[in-house]
Amino acid sequence: MRNENDARRPRGFRSLVSDTAWAALAQEGARNRHRAGERLLHQGSPGGWVLLCLSGRLKVVYAEPDGREVLLAVRGPGDVLGELSGRDGRPRSATVQAIEPGITAKLSDRRFLDLADALGSREQLSAYIVGKMRESAPHAWQLAHRTTATRLAELITALIDAAGPDHPRPGTIAMSQEELAAALGLARSAITPVLARWKSAGLVRTARGRLEVPDPAALHTGAVSTSGQNAT
């Protein structure tokens, strides 16, 4: 996980461009507020526009025809979503769903790319997209080889990091135990004993529909070492 100073810095595409460029892109888009649980992009639907995340954490999920879902990535303020469909013209490859209330700015694919060119940010956009693609290899390894405890710790760390520099409570995650387990492709019973051990160690607090991490800096090392006593 990033240190405290890094956590206060811009992230995502916003971290690669100037403040002026990001502000111009955000101001050009139509702003929309969304609720927790709202689906902002739908897997299989046509593209045509991109979303700039201005506030609130989002999850990117892939669904099978039988309804099973697995989390592909966590996004937050500073990220761009839906940009791949604008490049290849194919339907959306995943669904983007809000974890908590937030705001996005919506631009057409063409306008977004034209503005990126005009602002001298096209190279940074390409680097951002490549960076997203590079995330898939370690994600696949994690799903196949890491313990449940390690996978859960990495997920919670990603959720905290995605909160962005202006989030008032990055350590509060509005996801139930069922949602956290489903994000890893697991049943709730697989993560319940892990969370119980972490709770006993003071690393997390659980409540209905949310998880709280009092000390995010201690989570990664503390959670994994505590869980290692009874690896899942």
CA 176 to chain centre: 16
What is d(CA 70, CA 40) in angstroms, rounded to the nearest whole number? 17
- Does the 4-134 domain belong in CATH 1.20.1250.20? no
pLDDT in tens, 98-129: 999 999 999 999 999 999 999 999 999 999 99
CATH code given to domain 141-230: 1.10.10.10
Average the pLDDT over 135-146 and give the result: 67
- Side-chain-side CA neighbours of 124 within 13 Å: the count stands at 18
Nearest to 161 by CA among 40, 75, 81: 75
pTM: 0.87
Q: Count H helices and E strands in the chain, helices first.
A: 10, 11
**Domain parsing of the chain, residue ranges:** 4-134, 141-230
DSSP for 1-54, written as a single string:
---HHHHTS--GGGGGS-HHHHHHHHHHSEEEEE-TT-EEE-TTS---EEEEEE
pLDDT at 42 over 60: yes
What is d(CA 195, CA 205) in angstroms, rounded to the nearest whole number? 9
pLDDT in tens, 202-231: 999 998 899 999 988 787 776 556 545 544
